[in-house]
Structure 1
């Protein structure tokens, strides 16, 4: 029974050390990585705020590309 508290403290410590999620601006600048993260999120192997940020980054990058094509036609 004495190992259980130590295990819980270790798990809590590791969870506190996880890196902050990358921002949506980061994913706009790195569209290939954003698409990979979104695919991982869809598959269920990745989750959390980074999934939200990657999805927003992909949407923003696609929107910027559409706007660029739109402006090119004028």
Structure 2
């Protein structure tokens, strides 16, 4: 019986956690991506959002470098 209660409690807590924001969200919100990346480096933020925010920041840097390259011609 106690295992059932524990299982239901854990399932309920898991259902309450919000879905991690996607890379495309962070690409559109670079200020939030930078904050999440900073928080991830200090350990204040963890999980899939760290990976998604890092990917979005890297993508934005790549796009900026490509734009600068194209303007050189």
Normalising by the smaller structure, the TM-score range is: 0.7 to 0.9
| Alignment match, 1:66 | 65
Question: How many residue pairs were aligned?
Answer: 73
| Structure 2: gaps (5+ residues) | none
| Structure 1: gaps (5+ residues) | none
Q: TM-score when scaled to structure 2?
A: 0.82
Q: TM-score when scaled to structure 1?
A: 0.81
Q: How does 1:1-74 map to 2 (within 5 A)?
A: 9-10=8-9, 12-74=11-73
What is the distance in 1 between the residues matched to 2:59 and 2:31? 13
